[in-house]
A and B are shown apart, each in its own frame.
Chain A
């Protein structure tokens, strides 16, 4: 028994040791990648220049042919640079950004990282996106079909009527009932009246719908200076609407983001490799990388160099939603106070490559929504004053004969001056 348990312990420890060995080996192999991701990836990529240089082939450059120099540099860059002209040059080239010291990385760790860098294949030319042929015009428009059908039926009935009258005339001739000389159809009053009514209806329809549509721009979809896809940004990449249009919560206007907000991400992202095809309303496909280049031109930015924001020019985006001057609309009142979702008025923006005006922005459309929408009283600072007065009037602490307009916000500047 005793003997047995000792043997068991022995075997157990051997097994544990073996496992430790295996695990340790595996960890070493993966170490480089995870260490790189944890320590280096903020500023370096293997094949792309970011804040710091691309690291592919680093051991063939400058003093780095000697691993010891690399160890010394990573442990204390500032100290190493004092005596090394190569890194002094790099420091200047990269806009005076000093590398972070990593005294905690052991030489073994650094070697693992370098092994990982070597194992990464060189950048390949971007493969033209595996074209997944999607049919953008799948459903088609039914009205056209119905129109054609109606026309065909009209022609058929017209032909049949003609045939009918001809046959009748023939029959009459045969029977010798020499009827009156048949009138050609353009002098036939029944025909004339019929055509007149049809024309009146058609022209009336177009006149009325044209008059109603005058001044409204539903489905307006202007060509923008940069093919910016909301589908890619707000849809696939899940960027909140308020990231770019943050003023929506505090102001009348939903702000159009300035160039610096684009550059928050596009200082790093200089090419488009996403899964979505950038197809505009006309069915034309756009090259995302080229569109980002357009942004760089407006921003005065060259990839790989420090960005001087003072060189940026505003992008002349074309405004889509226009209200006439006599209509006052405030975004913050709807988004912040009313807690209305952007999509309620703007449609499924996160699915639009090219944005169009979703709602007709007519008065009837506004009024209908105001008729149906519940006021969000709960946890809403905007309405707290109403609740407060309501409570005070109820328990009699407020003299109801003495509530002036001012007390309910009547002297706020914006009540009159907006």
Chain B
């Protein structure tokens, strides 16, 4: 009888050990009241019932078309409309060249603007271009990082120092070569703030005259109005 009892007890212990061990929780579990937990309104990142909704506007098959995107042509409140150039088709560079003429609407940035520009730069750009703008961020690390392509040096390379703000804006918005587009991460105002920050750093770095190409002093504050004077750099005529 004792034997029987101990067998029972040990098997109970065994079951307890077996069930208590699975540590990883792959299911979210149950909830009290589903009608209070799940929204009936369209919430972000909630899977829509494919029996009623479709993201295919061409073949709705009697379902409701909804893809959570704004209607084409929607303009955000407070949108800055100074830059309206579309993206170049592959192999074309018309708009890239045209973007040189676009003026920076944020002239004379204040200290707060530059600080915000720096913050945004450190979040979005510094991983490749480096927190010192030297083109050596943690993703490149002088060729040791995972990113295969050398990011541009933003303070001492004449190519970027002489690049007009409008063209920087184009590159940030649509990307260039292996740099991806940042139009979805930075809004228009933020992009200009980042450019102002970069230009201010370039201006601060300017006193040592940049090797050969340009003799104009790039000392205008924040370089906001240096764009028209210095379009004849090595790079502009060459790329594309």
Contacts and interface: CB of A to CB of B under 8 A. Distances in A.
A336 to B, nearest CB: 12
Nearest to A92: B91
B145 interface: yes
Given A97-B177, A97-B240, A265-B180, A45 B31 contact: no
B127 A51 contact: no
Given A96-B90, A221-B25, A264-B182, A239 B127 contact: yes
B127 to A, nearest CB: 5
Contact of B234 (A104, A272, A274, A282): A104
Contacts of A260: 180-181, 184
Contacts of A243: 123-124, 127, 185
B146 interface: yes
Interface string B29-50: 1111000111110011100000
A319 B26 CA distance: 12
B58 interface: no
Contact of B148 (A50, A92, A274): A50
A151 B90 CA distance: 73
B25 A219 contact: yes
A274 B138 CA distance: 13
Interface stretch (A9-17, A63-71, A320-328, A402-410): A320-328
Contact of B178 (A50, A222, A281, A325): A50
A256 interface: yes
Contacts of B142: 37
Given A50-B149, A240-B123, A98 B90 contact: no
A151 B13 contact: yes
B39 to A, nearest CB: 4
Contact of B25 (A141, A217, A267): A217
B239 A100 contact: yes
Interface stretch (A171-179, A208-216, A393-401): A208-216
A319 B45 contact: yes
B92 interface: yes
Contacts of B151: 42
B149 A51 contact: yes
B234 A325 contact: no
Contacts of B51: none
A48 interface: yes
A34 B6 CA distance: 77
B212 interface: yes
B73 interface: no
Nearest to A216: B29
Interface in B173-225: 175, 177-182, 184-186, 212
Contacts of B29: 213-217, 220
A322 B46 CA distance: 10
B240 A42 contact: no
A237 B149 contact: no
Main secondary structure of the interface of B (DSSP, over half): loop
B62 interface: no
Given A41-B150, A45-B148, A104-B234, A324 B25 contact: no
Interface string A250-272: 00110010101101110111001
A273 interface: yes
Nearest to B112: A379
Nearest to B177: A51
Contacts of B30: 214-215
Given A95-B90, A103-B234, A246-B185, A223 B26 contact: yes
B24 interface: yes
A269 B28 CA distance: 33
A77 B238 contact: yes
A242 B184 CA distance: 13
B39 A325 contact: yes
25 contacts: A37-B150, A42-B177, A45-B149, A51-B149, A98-B238, A104-B234, A144-B20, A147-B13, A155-B6, A155-B9, A214-B29, A217-B29, A221-B25, A222-B27, A237-B127, A237-B146, A239-B139, A240-B123, A243-B124, A258-B184, A260-B184, A261-B184, A268-B148, A281-B24, A325-B40
Which 9 A-B pairs have CB atoms at the shortest separation, nearest pair first?
A96-B91, A264-B180, A41-B150, A101-B238, A324-B37, A281-B24, A325-B39, A217-B28, A215-B31
